[in-house]
Every structure is written in structure tokens, then in C-alpha cells.
């Protein structure tokens, strides 16, 4: 049965009106239980506090209309009752006038997937947004190699792996392999770096042992598997074992990457740096130079020198 509200016309008025696929003689209270209450139920208002010039709202059809799109799965068989439950959930999350714009059964299971569209009254205060800013210059491969050669006097040793049960090597390969990512060569391309890519599903203990045997300067870990927060657990375990196995001044730098990590959470997880989505090999190489190469005269990117000249 087609349950798309755009093609069946089954759209509750203001998110709470009659539903064509439901019988008219519903038991008292059942409709409210499914759809989140009467149409005049109070909704979440704007957050407390004055709004300055840095306050913005989501954009959907018109500026400041607050429209957002939300997707989720419910453990219910696909049908009108499941859509009603989806609308109730959206409304309880503060969404006003929610519409189920897409729904379908998940495989042959009694689960249903939804996309809900509606307005929220909440705002974003840009003055209170905190992000991890890059605090080092972005270097080319030639500049990074020159800094390592001239100021360290030896090659940097970099180990990379996916740990635990994680078999998704696309991320670590993009950073390490010479073919690289986003038009940039990977760290294997750098003449002053010796790179060892240990691949997938590497036990934490094995990675720590190899780091000691290779006298690694940095350990790069990519984590894509996030079920039950496995990525967080694995990084905490690796950080603890590195600290237990090395003296502080000999411990390899722990650099972590993956799409579900918060770059601001490095200290909480025991990592030295966390990189998120869109990270390129140049980002990582520049950080390694910044963190591991002794400070001397600052490395000035060649593009800056050309501009000055």
C-alpha cells in the first residue's frame, strides 16, 4: 500500500487532523495517543534569553521558517499506526506541524523508516558555537618534507590502522596511500615519512606492540564502526595502553579520524588530535609536522612567500 502523504492525500490537518486511512470511530483517546495530542496542545517555544544579530533559524521554504527534515526508524510494522507514532515522536521533540513525507518498511522486518518534515521554534546562537579550529599552517608536501629534514634530521615513522572489529579501511587508506584523497597525495608520497599501513581489524595490543617495535612517532587510527559507541571504547582502550606501555616523552602521538567523532573531544578520549569528515592528507601531514618537529623558525607556506615577493 502506498503510504506517501504526498500521493495519497493522507495529511493530518496541521499535523493533528483526521487521517483518511484510520476508521472514524476510533476509541476515545487512541487518536491523541498516536498523533501526540490535540491540535491546540502547547509546543516548545523559542529558547530563553535575548536574541542578538548572531541568531539564526533553519531554512526550508522561506527565510526563518524553521523547517527541518528528520529521519529515523521505529520498531513497528509499516502502516498508519506506525506513521502516527512517527508524528507523535516528532511533535514531542518540539517539531511543529510535522508531516511524514516518506515512509517504508525496512526489509521484511516489523520495522519502519520515516522522513518527517516540520518546523522547529529553536534557534542557533552563532556567538555560542564552539568548533575546533586549525591552529597550525597548512603545508604542501614539499614544505612538510623540508621541515622534517631540516629540523628533525630523520624520517617520521607513522603507523596507521583500523582497530577492533572495524574493517572499513577507506578512511585510513585515503590518508596514508600514495593515491590519496581530494586531489592530494597520501602520506606515503612524503619522502620524509616512513608509513606503515597495518590495515583492518588490528587488535589494540598488536598495534601498541608494533608502535614500540617500529619506534613510531605517531599512530593514526580510523574508526567507522560506531554501534554501541565502539569507536569511543576502542580509542579509550588504545590511549590507555599507549600510556601504560610508553614513558610520556616516548609515547607516540595518537591521531584519530572518523565521521562520527567530535574533534573537540580529543582530551576526553585521550587522543592528541581528532579529525572529522573532509580531512585530507595535507591536513594530517601539516599537523604531524606541527606537533612532532622541533620548533625553530616557523615554516611559512610557499604561497605566502610568493605573495610577499
Active site residues per annotation: 179
Neighbours of 53 (CB within 10 A): 7
Dist CA 300 CA 92 (whole Å): 53
Dist CA 131 CA 64 (whole Å): 24
Task: Show Cβ contacts of residue 195 under 8 Å, excluding neighbours closer than 6 positions.
Answer: 158, 160, 176, 186, 187, 188
| DSSP letters spanning 37-104 | S-TT-----PPSS---TTEE---SSSTT--EEEEEEEESS-SSHHHHHHHHHHHHHTTEEEEEEEEEE
CB burial readout 90-123, b (16+ within 10 A) else e? bbeeebbbbbbebbebeeeeeebbbebbbbbeeb
Dist CA 60 CA 58 (whole Å): 7
> What beta strand segments (E) does the chain contain?
55-56, 67-74, 95-105, 112-120, 124-125, 156-161, 193-197, 218-222, 253-257, 273-275
Judge contact between 37 and 87, C-beta under 8 A.
no
Max Cα–Cα distance, the chain, nearest Å: 83
* SS3 category, 306: helix
Amino acid at each position: 500500500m502506498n503510504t506517501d502523504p504526498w500521493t495519497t492525500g493522507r495529511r493530518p490537518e496541521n499535523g493533528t487532523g483526521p487521517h483518511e486511512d484510520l476508521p472514524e470511530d476510533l476509541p476515545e483517546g487512541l487518536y491523541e495517543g498516536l498523533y501526540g495530542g490535540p491540535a491546540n496542545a502547547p509546543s516548545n517555544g523559542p529558547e530563553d534569553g535575548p536574541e542578538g544579530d548572531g541568531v539564526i533559524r533553519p531554512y526550508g521554504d522561506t527565510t526563518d521558517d524553521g523547517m527541518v527534515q528528520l529521519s529515523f526508524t521505529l520498531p513497528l510494522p509499516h502502516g498508519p499506526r506506525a506513521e502516527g507514532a512517527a508524528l507523535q515522536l516528532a511533535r514531542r521533540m518540539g517539531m511543529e506541524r510535522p508531516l511524514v513525507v516518506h515512509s517504508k518498511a525496512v526489509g521484511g522486518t516489523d520495522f519502519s523508516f520515516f522522513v518527517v518534515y516540520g518546523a522547529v521554534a529553536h534557534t542557533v546562537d552563532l556567538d555560542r558555537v564552539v568548533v575546533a579550529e586549525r591552529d597550525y599552517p597548512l603545508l604542501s608536501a614539499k614544505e612538510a618534507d623540508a621541515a622534517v629534514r631540516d629540523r628533525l634530521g630523520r624520517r617520521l615513522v607513522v603507523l596507521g590502522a583500523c582497530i577492533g572489529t572495524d574493517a572499513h579501511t577507506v578512511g585510513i587508506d585515503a590518508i596514508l596511500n600514495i593515491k590519496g584523497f581530494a586531489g592530494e597525495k597520501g602520506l606515503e608520497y612524503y619522502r620524509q615519512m616512513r608509513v606503515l599501513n597495518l590495515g583492518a581489524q588490528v587488535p589494540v595490543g598488536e598495534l601498541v606492540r608494533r608502535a614500540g617495535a617500529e619506534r613510531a612517532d605517531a599512530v593514526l587510527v580510523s574508526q567507522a564502526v560506531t554501534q554501541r559507541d565502539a569507536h569511543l571504547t576502542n580509542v579509550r582502550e588504545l590511549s590507555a595502553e599507549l600510556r601504560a606501555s610508553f614513558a610520556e616523552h616516548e609515547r607516540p602521538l595518537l591521531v584519530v579520524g572518523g565521521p562520527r567523532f567530535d574533534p573537540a573531544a580529543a582530551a576526553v578520549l585521550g587522543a592528541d588530535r581528532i579529525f572529522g569528515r573532509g580531512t585530507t592528507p595535507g591536513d594530517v601531514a601539516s599537523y604531524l609536522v606541527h606537533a612532532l618537529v622541533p620548533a625553530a623558525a616557523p615554516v611559512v607556506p610557499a604561497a605566502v612567500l610568493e605573495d610577499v615577493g
